Structure 1
Amino acid sequence: MSAIDQLPAALGRRFPSAARGLATMRGWLLEERYPFAVDLAFALVVLALSSAAHGRDLSRHPLVWLPQLALILPLAFRRRAPLAVFGVIAGVSFVQWLTYQAMPANIAVLLALYTVAGHCARRNVLLSYLVAELGVALVVSDIRHAGELADPLHTMFKAAFALSGATTAAAVLGLNVRARRAQLRALRERARELERQRDQQAALAVAEERSRIAREMHDIVTHNLSVMVALADGAVYANPTAPEKATAAMRQSAETGRQAITDMRRFLGVLRADEPDALRHPQPGLGQLAALVSQVRAAGLPTELRVTGDRAAVSPGAQLTVYRLVQESLTNTLKHAASGARAEVTVECTEQALRVEVRDDGRALHPAAPGGFGAGGADERSRESGHGLAGMRERVAAYGGGLTAGPLPHGGWQVAATLDLGPDPQEAPR
């Protein structure tokens, strides 16, 4: 870090107001917020310095102020019209060379050349550089005719070397500043592009998170409400003849409601970092399938569960996916299958894949033809289960697997999915 960069921090500790003023001025200079005002102030400073160095001639010959002002004041417009300003200053310098000796204000030629190199095309820079070198040749030619010099050729060589070096330095410095300015513009554009990409990624992440939350809430609320509705309907029908069964059904309904609240708190606790019970309520997995099946049985749907293989090797994310698939499938069966339907849940765990199948043998509540799901009944169930099936497909796709759902040839409905558990599964906390 340069001394100029460290100066605002050093002043800020002792002189906060001065540091703020310096930072503002530095921003104006670096960001070119007010280019004309900065260039005008710069021209006035150069005019004051050159006038102080040439004060005796200016006081003796007031007309010398004309070329002095004509050389310096155009610098106020150097960034608005770099090539025109250089032309004016070069022309005034040539006229001044014809009528008067060299003066300190001729440094304006170098300043104008620097500006042309920093803002104009390369061919204009080359043309301006050649014009400046021509001026150097004219100045050096005057030395040759100076009779008071003992060795005019040696003096000419030194003068040509010094003046040409200054001209070359001005052009090279301007080109370097232009390259640095272009690099800064590229970096700023890159930073803006990265900000846009960050905002887009954040928007995509928000949309994905909203979809995940909606999917989880759909699974939790839909399943538990379906079970509660089935239990409540059973209690109403059983109450006149078997009050004890109605009471048991209502108790099971209340337990299901409490379980739904627990699931929602568990899920919301994972979303909230400040939830103290988040770690106490892990997400459900294969171990909770038995409780899920028992809950469905209590709602009036006889269900069998078979789990084979080593479940310990299955990641928690994959277990949650299977749990939600089974939960959604059984919920659809509760909602759409007629009385007397039965369901089977089969889960097979291997080292490479996790397979799950949920099927029922019941008829639809509104079948198109006797004996099972006709075309109309299947379409009806597919349409009503559309959101749930879309959510299940998204869950399975996160593991590079596939899902099929549809009516069975001899009646009933089947949902089957396969999750890839290979060496590089696409894990996702769904």
Structure 2
Amino acid sequence: MIDPPVALRATALAGWRRIAGRRDAALAGALCALGELELFGGEKYNGRPVWPGPVGVNAVLIVALTAPFVWRRRRPLGAVLATFAVMTASTLILGGAEAATTFIVLIAAAFSGAAYSRHLVIVIVAAVIASVAHGINDPSSEGLADLTWTYGLVAVAALIGRAVWVRQHRIGSLENDAASAEDRHLREIAAATAAERATIARELHDIVSHAVSVIVIQAQVGSRALPSELEVVGESLSAIEGTARGAMSELRQLLTLLATDDEAASVAPIASLRQVAQLLDQCRAAGMTIDADIDETVGPLPPVADLAAYRLIQEALTNTMRHAPGAKAHIRVRRHGEMIELLAQDSGGDPVSPSGPPAGSGRGLIGMRERLALAGGHLVEAAHGATGFRVRALIPAGDHPQPPAERVS
């Protein structure tokens, strides 16, 4: 699947190329029209036609001289060499043309070759050859003075064109670097999301496996305690036991796929809001100043919601220690009907030194959103304010939540 930013860049580039192609065709058409007007208008210079030779031949010559400008961006070297070749050949065969079109074509070709081709030396050599051929075969030429004037203008056009070439390549390099950085950022976000989901899946396994284990034990006890004549009930309990065992087996297989060997071997207890006091003590022991306002009426939450609430507070405190050392943290947990409000904010703290921890990559917010979504909750606010970073979330207190409409963008 193509990432939207990549597709957008490709579409914009294709559109720019179409516009540039139309502009080049318009330039070629304008130069051709100017030359034909001079030819059929009978323009003269010093008493002789500006286009020497038969009119029909010159009409075709003008088209051949200007048509390559259509490809001056797509095939710059070929287009410029074709123009200079036609100009040199016509000068040697018909004589030097005094038409303004010839001079404009010479300057435009020198600019185009320098601006759009990597082969600057070849372009300059071709321009010099065409200029010398024209000067030698121009009966009205004043010798070195005219050649110096012509070379000077060609050199200026080539220098301006080369400046355009350098600028375009510099912009292209910056765009490529920006695109690479954007692609890396997208891959990092995808990897962070996958890692958080894997962690959530492992914790979900521990939560569900506990409940399923209880089902298995109860089914075993009930099956063994029943009189033998209650065969149907015994078979039902046996089916419950088998189904529960199968579910536990599938959960273990899922954990094996998601976790590394070290992670799969971990049997740490599932965190919950009951352990927030211990978490706060640990942070205070590390030097943090924390103001906690935890509603005692929150009561026990569903396991997934309990874990999500704990992880949100833990992540917020970790971010404060990492990115705002010295900041005062405030934690608030309150119940509002069927929803639990979680608030974590800090006072901003001291700026992190250049040698300190790097700026956050957004993985913490990714984890918060994933966990809250799994529990039926959502982030309401997550942003830097004038007084520090603030995170506010709502999470359902019951087993069947109806999340409110308010959401963080």
TM range (shorter): 0.3 to 0.5
Query: Larger relative contact order (C-alpha < 8 A, sep ≥ 6)?
Result: 2
Bigger Cα Rg: 1
TM-score by length of 1: 0.42
